[in-house]
Structure 1
């Protein structure tokens, strides 16, 4: 199969086209012909050699990166239930996938823990944008913060890939949503449902927001988030490790989020998209080395809004 791989850690220029054998599915796995995959900041870290165990336990060069995908099942292990050959699916590869079993290629072999059927009304390109960023936000709202209708939440970093999902999912749950972003993102975030957009270049969020039930931090500014919370509020961060002092701030709860989503969570998230409650901001590029390099550079610039998807095949 054709893959886009690296032969050493380094810059985006390390990517090259490499032919690799496909991986046969084990009893609890399926093989999927990839129609689309998306790029994530985690991919950048992997390319630069900044990830450690367990991510890198099975890695060697040439290395195929990537976790998010959508495609069609081509082979199945004998213990798999709930799926059939020919099913359109989307999901995420295991964190510690083998070196030749990332998503930057034509096939991937995965277990079904984070695999869901592609619902009618959702394209492969759209579905490939959901798993890591979307599931991170969904898990945060539903399982971690347990957000309820009528509560107030601050999403720090609303214009990023996870932040865009978090704003819309929080609104779908019935919350009042404030977010931080640059001024040039205000119109987009307002259209997506944010009740309040604070330009962090001009205004300290803690100066204008008070007594919030929850904070979802995607930028690593835990101190500001804690100041916004009410006494028994809760903060979840995906961008920093809380200090001992931050973890003992009055009755406030603060913790790093370890996302442990499920197939059902993916299916529920997809339905939010199909129903129009979550709108996707996706830039789609054809499958090529040049476009993967372009996508990585765009993410590294920190000016990407939404998700970058690489379209492999129709």
Structure 2
């Protein structure tokens, strides 16, 4: 199969088109012919050699990166139930996927931990944009912060890949949503229903936000989040490890979020898209080493709004 892989850690220019054997599915896995995959900041960290265990436990070179994907099932393991050859599916590869079994290729073998069927009305490109960023945001709102209608949440970094999902999911849950962004993203965020957009270049969130029920931090600024949070509120961060002092600020629940997504979470995200409550901002590029290089460079330069999806086949 054709893959876009690296032979050593380094810059985006390390990506090359490499022919590799198809991964062989285990008894509890399905083999999926990939139609699209999306690129996440963790892909950049992996390419640069900045990820540790469990991600790198089964890695060697040449290395096929990538976790998010959509495609069609072409083979079903003997112990798998609920999936059949020809099913359209999307999901995320295992955190510790082997070096020949990332999503930057034409096939991937996966179990059903974070896998589900693509519903009618959702394209392969849209589905591939959902798993990691979408599930991270949904897990934070639903499971970690237990966000309820009528509550107030501050999303630090609302225009980033995860932040755009988070502000929309929070609004779908019926919350009052405030966020920080640069001024050039204000209109976009207001169009998505955000109640309060703060230009972090000019105003500190601490000066205008008080007694919020929840904080979802995507930028690594726990101190600001704590000052915005009420005394018994909840804060989840995906960007940094809170200090012991931060964890014991009054009665506040403060924690780094470990995301354990499921197929049910993906189903919920797809339903939000189909109901018009979650708008996907997707830039699609054809499958090539040149476009993977360009996508990595664009994300590294913080020039993205939404998700970059690599379209493999129709």
Report the TM-score range of the alignment, normalised by the length of the smaller protein.
over 0.9
TM-score, structure 1 normalization = 1.00
Q: In structure 2, what is the Cα distance between the partners aligned to 1:24 and 1:292? A: 25
Q: Does 1:25 align with 2:25?
A: yes
1:96-150 deviations in whole A, cap 9, x for unaligned? 0000100000000000110010001100000000000000000000000000000
- Mapping 1:5-16, distance limit 5 Å: 5-16=5-16
- Please list, as runs of the form range in 1=range in 2, the aligned pairs for 1:189-200 lying within 5 A after superposition: 189-200=189-200
Structure 2 Cα separation of the partners of residues 236 and 270 of structure 1: 23
* Secondary structure of the structure 1 residue equivalent to 2:194: coil
Q: Which residue of 1 aligns with 2:92?
A: 92
Separation in 1, partners of 2:245, 2:44: 31
Q: Does 1:176 align with 2:176?
A: yes
TM-align CA RMSD: 0.5
Number of residues of Structure 1 aligned to a counterpart in Structure 2:
314
- Unaligned runs of 5+ residues in structure 1 are none
Distance in structure 2 (CA, Å) of the matches to 1:308 and 1:163: 15
Show the counterpart of 1:281: 281
Listed one character per residue, the Cα deviations across residues 29-74 of structure 1 (whole Å, up to 9, x for unaligned) are 0000000000000000000000011100110000000000000000
Deviation of 1:303 after TM superposition, in Å, equals 2.4
Quote the Cα distance in structure 2 between the aligned partners of 1:226 and 1:253. Answer: 10
Structure 2 unpaired stretches of 5+: none
- Name the residue aligned to 1:207: 207
Partner of 1:247: 247
Aligned to 1:271: 271
Deviation at 1:304, TM superposition (A): 1.1
Show the counterpart of 1:144. Answer: 144
2:113 maps to 1:117 = no
Q: How far is 1:193 from its partner?
A: 1.3
TM value normalised by structure 2: 1.00
Q: Which residue of 2 aligns with 1:60?
A: 60
Write the distance in 1 (CA, Å) between the matches of 2:24 and 2:92: 17
For 2:204 and 2:230, locate their aligned partners in 1 and report how far apart those are by CA, in whole Å.
17
What is the rounded CA distance, in whole Å, between the counterparts of 1:73 and 1:172 in structure 2?
31
Aligned to 1:308: 308
Q: Secondary structure at the match of 1:177?
A: strand
Match of 1:221 in 2: 221
Number of the residue aligned with 1:70: 70
Residues 1:236 and 2:226 are matched in the alignment: no
SS in structure 1 at match of 2:45: helix
Secondary structure of the corresponding residue to residue 50 of structure 1: coil
Q: Which residue of 1 aligns with 2:292?
A: 292
Task: Write out the 4+ residue segments of structure 1 that deviate beyond 4 Å after TM superposition.
Answer: none
* Corresponding residue SS for 1:103: coil
SS of the residue aligned with 2:292?
A: helix
